[in-house]
Amino acid sequence: MGYKDVYQSWQNDPEAFWMQAAEAIDWDKKPSKALFERGNDLFEWYADGMVNTCWNAVDRHVVAGNGDRVALIYDSPITGTQSKTTYAQLQSQTAALAGALRAKGIDKGDRVIIYMPMVPEAIVAMLACARIGAIHSVVFGGFAAHELAVRIDDARPKAILAASCGIEPGRVIPYKPLIDGAIDQSRHKPEFTVILQREHGLADLRDGVDFDWHAFQNGATPAECLPVEGTHPAYILYTSGTTGAPKGVVRPTGGHLVALNWTMKNVYNVNPGEVFWAASDVGWVVGHSYICYGPLIHGNTSVVFEGKPVGTPDAGTFWRVIAEHGVKSFFTAPTAFRAVKRDDPKGVFLKQHDISGLRAIYLAGERADPDTIEWMQNLTGKPVYDHWWQTETGYTIAGNPVGIEALPVKIGSPTVAMPGYDVHILDEGGHEVPPGTLGAIAIKLPLPPGTLPTLWNAEDRFRKSYLSHFPGYYETGDAGMKDADGYLWIMARTDDVINVAGHRLSTGGMEEVLAAHPDVAECAVIGVADDLKGQLPMGFVCLTKGVNRPHDEITRECIKLVRDQIGPVAAFKLCAVVDRLPKTRSGKILRRTMVQIADGEAYKMPATIDDPAILDEIRGTLQTLGYAKERQPS
């Protein structure tokens, strides 16, 4: 069957399609059906099935006789270490940690925050939670204490599992002070922490509250896998929305297992036993789905890479890892390859490694620019597949279903909708637009298994964010179009979310931080185009009347404030003081126009603008920052 037949078979009978896909999962109790309609546009999958994620990702492979197969390859150029973990070892490690957690009172449904760098113990921590039905929430190490505190207050975890430090090029980041700082700030207080001590930076542990990772597990009775309902939350992953309050995306257990397993062959074209590598971080959805769960559920070997595309030690690292470990499918963000291209445009490093075993390269997380795709294709001779998805879905909405049929690549398009996704392009009024016309990208409900059924403790926000704008549809927050062949083209976000080096960030959240500066009366943050990171945040602040301090002092404080409150990952380094912000007559800040001016795009003078002269002032400021190359309004 080709792609069209498979997609059609799903459309004809979604229930049969998803029940068949569910056959690949070991259920403790098989679900009687796939879809459960809960009314009011809410849906659940496999609700009456009982299943355990860790069993499916680990134990069942051991039981099937594959205990000696390598589950995880840890490759850490930043520390100069490598190790391998077999499925049998992973089973005993997760059982031991799960047992110790249970002995310390962690039960089904309890939340556990994981704050760890790219070490195999991070995967063990996730799986150990899944083993006993605890709900993990992994927080990316590049977020500051305040962001961690916000997540602690929302998820209300009983425990935090962490490492003593993360390692960035040229510096060690002690995690314990960040955790302590977060707990100081949060209203909810976790009961205890378990800390993996890394030799690069040891943490001070307080008696009875902070436990050493290894000592904590000593003597604990290993835990068996606890079957949970198909709808039980496997994890909560916070992602950026329009405000500073992150959205807690809930991942349901049953659908997550079925859908991820389906994608490993159909999207990534790997067979069990083969090596799959997603160069991302466990703190992001790509890390959840394709460093931890997807490859393990499917019985693949997953690479846990602690390093950067460049500088650890050079732009040949990706090629070395692919060659050394026999990677068959490689997945990363376009920005990573832009970094490699910048350092090694001629691919000198590639020549030192044999990547003939690699079948294809997959890109997601941000728009893949045609230059980078073409460069990669020419250099490697491998197909490069863009695919489009979000934290909310957890896996591909649109991609090239290579395991079914490799469709022709149209550079700039992530290809076509996957089975399960009925993707529509709508105008403001919710009407379908003709092919080739730009509109809001929406998915007809129900979303397929594994996608978010709601937001953690925030069903109203879930409805408001995703379901209310286009009744009967899920609003993706992306704008784009479909061409006559049904290929999708993702053009821009329709909200205040920006994408910095493949990391999703909220400009609204940054504005909240700037607005808290005592000298700032008003502010705006926009995302401007950047050759390396795709987008960079840029802040404009208007000062409170009477403030007379040097502007560069204030902007330095603003930059530090965002770094301290949100984290270095926000990469907020561009900030300017302006007299006024451009607004409509009703007072709405014209952020979109500011972005167009910054990026040197043609723009239309907004009809409702209050004072057009302000745009010239903004252009002047942008030019001093090296942006807004001359163009006149059309």
Query: Interface with ligand COA by CB under 6 A: which residues?
Result: 117, 141-142, 166, 168, 173, 279-280, 284, 286, 308-310, 332-333, 335-336, 339, 365, 501-502, 532, 568-569, 571
Residue 399: enclosing H or E segment and its boundaries?
strand 398-399
Report what 147 binds from ligand COA, ligand AMP, none; CB cut-off 5-8 Å by kind.
Answer: none
Residue number, 229 or 530, with CB nearest to ligand COA:
530
- Span near ligand AMP by CB under 6 A; candidates 85-93, 365-373, 377-385, 418-426: 365-373
Report what 571 binds from ligand COA, ligand AMP, none; CB cut-off 5-8 Å by kind.
Answer: ligand COA
- 346-383 in b/e form (b: 16+ CB < 10 A) is ebebbeebebeebebbbbbbbbbbeebbebbeebbebe
251 lies in the binding site for ligand AMP (CB under 6 A): no
User: Kind of pairing, strands 497-500 and 439-444?
Assistant: unpaired
Written as six digits, the tokens of 74 are 């840890």
Please report how close the Cβ of residue 165 comes to ligand COA at its closest, in angstroms: 9
Short-list 234, 254, 250, CA closest to 46: 254
Residue number, 25 or 398, with CB nearest to ligand AMP:
398
246 lies in the binding site for ligand AMP (CB under 6 A): no
Written as six digits, the tokens of 314 are 């050079």
Tell me which residue has tokens 């690479």: 303
Short-list 524, 511, 477, CA closest to 497: 477
Residue number, 223 or 571, with CB nearest to ligand COA:
571
Q: Which class for 431: exposed (0-12), middle (13-18), buried (19 or more C-beta within 10 A)? A: exposed
- Span near ligand AMP by CB under 6 A; candidates 158-166, 349-357, 360-368, 582-590: 360-368
Residues 455-484 that bind ligand AMP (CB under 6 A): 476-478
CB 113 within 8 A of CB 88: no
Report what 386 binds from ligand AMP, ligand COA, none; CB cut-off 5-8 Å by kind.
Answer: ligand AMP
365 lies in the binding site for ligand AMP (CB under 6 A): yes
Please report how close the Cβ of residue 239 comes to ligand AMP at its closest, in angstroms: 5
Please report how close the Cβ of residue 83 comes to ligand AMP at its closest, in angstroms: 29
Phi, psi torsion values for 60, nearest 5 degrees? -65, -30
Q: What is the dihedral of CA 271, 281, 222, 230, to 10 degrees?
A: -70
Residue number, 96 or 340, with CB nearest to ligand COA:
340
Residue number, 91 or 335, with CB nearest to ligand COA:
335
Please report how close the Cβ of residue 387 comes to ligand AMP at its closest, in angstroms: 6
Please report how close the Cβ of residue 445 comes to ligand AMP at its closest, in angstroms: 18
DSSP string for 102-158: HHTT--TT-EEEEE--SSHHHHHHHHHHHHTT-EEEE--TTS-HHHHHHHHHHH--S
Please report how close the Cβ of residue 168 comes to ligand COA at its closest, in angstroms: 4
CB 178 within 8 A of CB 148: yes
Please report how close the Cβ of residue 333 comes to ligand AMP at its closest, in angstroms: 8
288 lies in the binding site for ligand AMP (CB under 6 A): no
Residue number, 193 or 400, with CB nearest to ligand AMP:
400
- Angle 563-565-567 from CA coordinates, rounded to 5°: 45
> Long-range CB contacts (< 8 A, 24+ apart) of 6-10?
6/266, 6/401, 6/404, 6/419, 7/416, 7/417, 7/418, 7/419, 9/419, 10/419, 10/420
Please report how close the Cβ of residue 415 comes to ligand AMP at its closest, in angstroms: 10
241 lies in the binding site for ligand AMP (CB under 6 A): no
567 lies in the binding site for ligand AMP (CB under 6 A): no
Residue number, 239 or 506, with CB nearest to ligand AMP:
239
Residue number, 46 or 330, with CB nearest to ligand COA:
330
- CB proximity list for 144: less than 8 A, separation 6 or greater: 178, 563, 564, 565, 566, 567, 568
Report what 198 binds from ligand AMP, ligand COA, none; CB cut-off 5-8 Å by kind.
Answer: none
Report what 141 binds from ligand AMP, ligand COA, none; CB cut-off 5-8 Å by kind.
Answer: ligand COA
- Span near ligand AMP by CB under 6 A; candidates 44-52, 72-80, 380-388, 574-582: 380-388
Among 59, 154, 366, 496, binds ligand AMP (CB under 6 A): 366
- Angle 361-367-372 from CA coordinates, rounded to 5°: 55
Residue number, 200 or 469, with CB nearest to ligand COA:
200
Please report how close the Cβ of residue 394 comes to ligand AMP at its closest, in angstroms: 9
CB 74 within 8 A of CB 119: yes
Q: Which amino acid is at 466?
A: Y
- Angle 37-38-39 from CA coordinates, rounded to 5°: 95
367 lies in the binding site for ligand AMP (CB under 6 A): yes
DSSP string for 304-356: EE-S-SSSSS-TTHHHHHHHHHTEEEEEE-HHHHHHHHHH-TT-TTGGGS--T
Residues 221-240 that bind ligand AMP (CB under 6 A): 239
Residues 397-426 that bind ligand AMP (CB under 6 A): 414
386 lies in the binding site for ligand AMP (CB under 6 A): yes
Phi, psi torsion values for 245, nearest 5 degrees? -85, 115
Please report how close the Cβ of residue 111 comes to ligand COA at its closest, in angstroms: 21
Residues 482-501 that bind ligand AMP (CB under 6 A): 490, 493, 499
User: Kind of pairing, strands 488-493 and 473-482?
Assistant: antiparallel
* Chain-centroid distance, C-alpha 3: 27
Positions that interact with ligand AMP (CB under 6 A): 239, 285, 364-368, 386-388, 390-391, 414, 476-478, 490, 493, 499, 504
